[in-house]
Amino acid sequence: MIRQFVHSRLAIRIFLITTLLITLTALTIHSLFNFFLPGFYLQYKEKQMTAQMEFLLEGIDQFSFEEAIRVIDSFALESGMQLIVTDANSQIIYVPNMLTQYQALSEFIPNLYLPQQILNSTNDYLVAQYDLQLSDVSAPLKLVVRVPLQPIDEASQAINNFLPYLLLIIVCVALIAAFILTRMIAKPLLRLNAAASKMAELDFTADLPIEANDEIGEIARNLEKLAHNLDQSMTTLQTINRQLVNDIEKERLIEQQRREFIATVSHELKTPLTAILGRLEGMIYNIGAFSDRDKYLQQTYDVAKQMEQLVYEIVAVSKLESEAFKPKSEQISVTRILQSCIAENLYLAQEKEQEITISIADNLLTRSDEQLLRKAVINLLRNAIYYSPMQAEIVITANQDITGIQVSIENYGVTMTSEQIQYVLQPFNRLEQSRNRQTGGSGLGLYIVKQIAKRCHYQFNLQGKSTSIVAILHLPLKTD
């Protein structure tokens, strides 16, 4: 740090300028002191003399001549002033504490004049004259005061003779003060420069232990904050870059999934459409068993309804995946929706002799899209019915706690691994490879539930237990 300080051009400039300024300031003060000291001294003596004389003359007009001269004698001894009492013709009447050896005032003060009650002073004396009124003297009297001045010129000359030694002391003090001040200013600046150099090399780990509460300390804190922000920005950019790479890969995967989705949709529509066309052609030409038109018209109608349901589900998926889609937000009764969905699908469970156990709390309220919640519940309930064996038990519960409303649908007699669960949550995926519509749906039911949960901010969880599968929807509480 010392070597850096010595080789710093900024530190040298600060040191030289500070030394020069301190030296010039001291010399200027010395010169001003010599120039203004005599004048200040004279003003001081004039004010002191005026104040003392006002104190002396206050109330003296009530005294007789004898009383007055005793007061004047005492005042002259205490103050060290020279006083003379004269008449209107400048004839000396009385000189306190001394014999009358001056017959006329002109012999005592050769150059007398009266500017506002204060006479001109010589270099050795300050002179003034005041009116004196006494109780037993009718004639006007004058009180002349003379104050000796100290030889101020000799004091100034002595100070000038001491100037070389004073100059040496000033230069030494200036050098020491300049060195200290330079270190106080240049050292933090050198640290700031070193930190800025590291930042230029994209090294944002520079430490700036400058805790001063001045502008330099503020610059240091701002620079440290800048380094921190730049470090965060660089980290963020790197993260964004990695995220961009991941997004590109994800986009490629989505595109691949989109192509697979379209291919799967085409296959799902082509198969029943081929069946419909084949049956219609057989009925038109009365081929074999297809001559029984009433039977095969009903079968064709059933296949067309399945196609219609598949189209509805594909449209629902497309709608849920659209960024422009916004679910409704209205107050709905979860209790009523669950009871309604169970009542609508109870016949499906009865056909398989399944037992549905219901435990639903009253007055479960939330804010959500009623149609989407109904769709999610129906899909989960039908999945539980379709994929549970004959005479299986299905338990439906719904209750509320401080975190929200939890709806649970658990079907017994079947289970899945976590890998299978992840598989069936993808569109058109079913564990049954035959994809028989008599034993299941299109494979979009659980995927639609997952998309509804995502858009409505539900928590959806599908778990496989040892002898059952449980689907859980966690809904937020009603908020006004």
Nearest residue to 15 via CA among 180, 190, 178: 178
Say if residue 186's pLDDT is above 90: no
Least confident of 151-165, 418-432, 441-455: 151-165
Residue 466 to residue 412: CA distance in whole angstroms: 9
Q: DSSP strand E in 56-186: where?
A: 82-87, 92-94, 125-134, 137-148
Report H helices in 123-214: 152-161, 163-200
Name, in order, each residue with C-beta under 8 angstroms of 97's C-beta and a sequence gap of 6 or more: 73, 76, 77
Task: Pick the most confident of 233-242, 317-326, 390-399.
Answer: 390-399
Q: What is the pLDDT of residue 152?
A: 63
Fold of 326-475: Heat Shock Protein 90 (3.30.565)
Say if residue 398's pLDDT is above 90: yes
What's the whole-model pTM score? 0.44
Helices then strands, counting H and E runs in the chain, come out as 12, 11
Q: DSSP strand E in 216-354: where?
A: 330-333
Say if residue 221's pLDDT is above 80: no
Domain assignments of the chain as residue spans, ordered by start: 326-475
Arithmetic mean of pLDDT, 319-329: 76
Q: What is the pLDDT of residue 114?
A: 34
Tens digits of residue pLDDT in 235-284:
888 888 888 888 888 778 767 766 666 665 665 566 667 767 777 777 77
